[in-house]
Amino acid sequence: MECKLVSDGFEPKYIRNDLEEFVNSRKSYLAKFKEKFAWVKGNVNFVFSALAEDASVCAEHPTRIAGIFLTFFPTMASYLIEDYPCVSLVEFLLDYEALDEYPYQVGVYELDI
């Protein structure tokens, strides 16, 4: 999960800035997130072991992993990100509440365990 506090303006300069920060620059949020996600996916056993040491975390080994961008305000960049959902926190909570489970199929990958 990657959380971003984006501006809530829909003026062209804010849209351009969001697109640059999220997808268009060489060091975009999306490029960095893909690297982080690949690392977690490749090291899932290590991550699970570290989390399982905490008694409040479920000890069932995961079979899937999901990536998501959560923003405070909606962003136009969400229309250009195809590999993962990019939704506002409110949108995510409403979608989750409607289904009573993780609401998105995109960005969910089966683990080879």
Cα of 97 vs its chain's centroid, Å: 18
Which residues, at least 6 apart from 50, have a Cβ–Cβ distance to it below 8 Å? none
Classify 100 in phi/psi space as left (phi over 0), alpha (psi -120 to 50) or beta. Answer: left
The per-residue pLDDT for range 64-83, each reduced to its tens digit, is: 999 999 999 898 999 999 99
The per-residue pLDDT for range 9-68, each reduced to its tens digit, is: 778 888 888 899 999 999 999 999 999 999 999 998 888 888 778 766 666 778 899 999
pTM: 0.82
Q: Which two tokens stand for residue 31?
A: 């490029």
DSSP string spanning 5-52?
------SHHHHHHHHIIIIISTT-HHHHHHHHHHHHHHTHHHHHHHHH
Q: In which domain, by residue range, is 22 found? A: 2-110
Look at the chain and report how many structural domains it folds into: 1
